[in-house]
Amino acid sequence: MGREDAEHVTKRWLLLVHQIPPKPAYFRAKVGRRLQKIGAVAIKNSVYVLPYGEQTLEDFQWSTREIIAEGGDATLCAASLVEGMRDEQIEALFNAARQADYAQVAEEARSAVAERDAMDPALARLGKRMSEIGAIDFFTAPGREAAEAAIATLAKRAHKAPPKEPEPIARRAEFQRRTWVTRKNIHVDRIASAWLVRRFIDNRPTFKFVEAKGYVPKPSEVTFDMFEATFTHVGDRCTFEVLVDRFGLRESGLRAIAEIVHDIDIKDGKYGRPETAGIASLIAGLAVLHRDDNERVALGSQMLDALLELHRRKH
């Protein structure tokens, strides 16, 4: 690659390479906490990465100055990957870290509900923690919806809110030949929801997969399973359940699928159907083999067609 070609390579990542003196011992832990707080992940010993951007650059610059001020050494680079690790592998590292954060929040929310004590302080603390995680969730990691559902349940128990009026049944005639928009890198709830839309709601839908942050939908588009979507999580219900309820779908077998999708997506073990673990493994394998979201919908739809037929025959 010539010099002119190299200058035109997109800088996608920021790399911080540091050396920290062995003493004082607390300083290494302090640097580690700082890097964790800004969302950086390690790709090698003492090599940390963040997506390239103004805020992430500023965060790394502060860390660099802090390390140097304490007698360490730090180098900050803007980089693109050429060989070795691929972009999607680094994205997976970020998603794994944030998914673990969301899982911890969800578990703490469920524990607070179970203990029935000091719910309001827990609610405030977990709400703040969700804001912190969201600020460093660069690639829209799985698990946010489950954490939000657990917090919603905690809020409901803490405040003992009166039951809401039933939501009106949506008219299918108003949702024909529409463009249905959701987040990229779809998983169980979005795969199942797309299948449900095509099979039972919209006779000729078009699906569009976008970056979650910053997307402004067109007035004619129907958004699902994303922030402030037309159809998304409500309380502890996943998007698939919300679609089933909002469109008044009563086809035999759908409720069983809704319960399976709920337990895989929300991870609260609410229904405990015996086939849930197997379906979860199939979805995970499908996501590993296929990065294209349309392929995931197509293959997931075949699986859900078979699952629906199985449960129909059981009734």
Q: Write the pLDDT tens digit of every residue in 115-163.
A: 776 788 888 899 899 989 999 999 988 888 889 888 988 888 887 655 5
| pLDDT for the residue 117 | 65
Q: Which two tokens stand for residue 102?
A: 């969301």
State whether CATH 3.40.50.720 applies to domain 11-79. Answer: no
CA–CA distance, 136 with 225 (Å, rounded to integer): 20
Q: Where are the domains of the chain?
A: 11-79, 87-159, 172-314
Question: In this predicted model, what pLDDT tens digit does every residue of 264-298 receive, in sequence order?
Answer: 988 888 899 999 999 999 999 998 899 999 999 99
Phi-psi region of 215 (alpha: psi -120 to 50; beta: other; left: phi over 0): beta
pLDDT in tens, the chain (315 residues): 444 444 445 689 999 999 988 888 888 888 999 999 999 999 988 999 999 998 999 999 999 998 998 889 999 999 998 888 899 999 999 999 999 999 999 999 988 888 776 788 888 899 899 989 999 999 988 888 889 888 988 888 887 655 556 677 899 999 999 999 999 999 999 999 999 999 999 999 999 999 877 789 999 999 999 888 999 988 788 999 999 999 999 999 999 999 999 999 888 888 999 999 999 999 999 988 999 999 999 999 999 999 999 988 876
Cis peptide bond N-terminal to 24, omega within 30: yes
142 within 8 A of 104, measured Cβ to Cβ: no
What string of DSSP letters covers 244-299?
A: HHHTT---TTHHHHHHHHHHHHH-S-SS--TTHHHHHHHHHHHHHH---HHHHHHH
| pLDDT for the residue 186 | 94
Q: Over the Cα atoms of the chain, what is R_g?
A: 22
List the one residue out of 236, 19, 30 whose CA is nearest residue 147.
Answer: 236
- Amino acid in the structure at residue 238: C
pTM flag (> 0.85): no
DSSP letter (8 states) at residue 98: H
Question: How far from 160 is each of 120, 164, 263, 303, CA to CA, in Å?
Answer: 12, 12, 24, 40
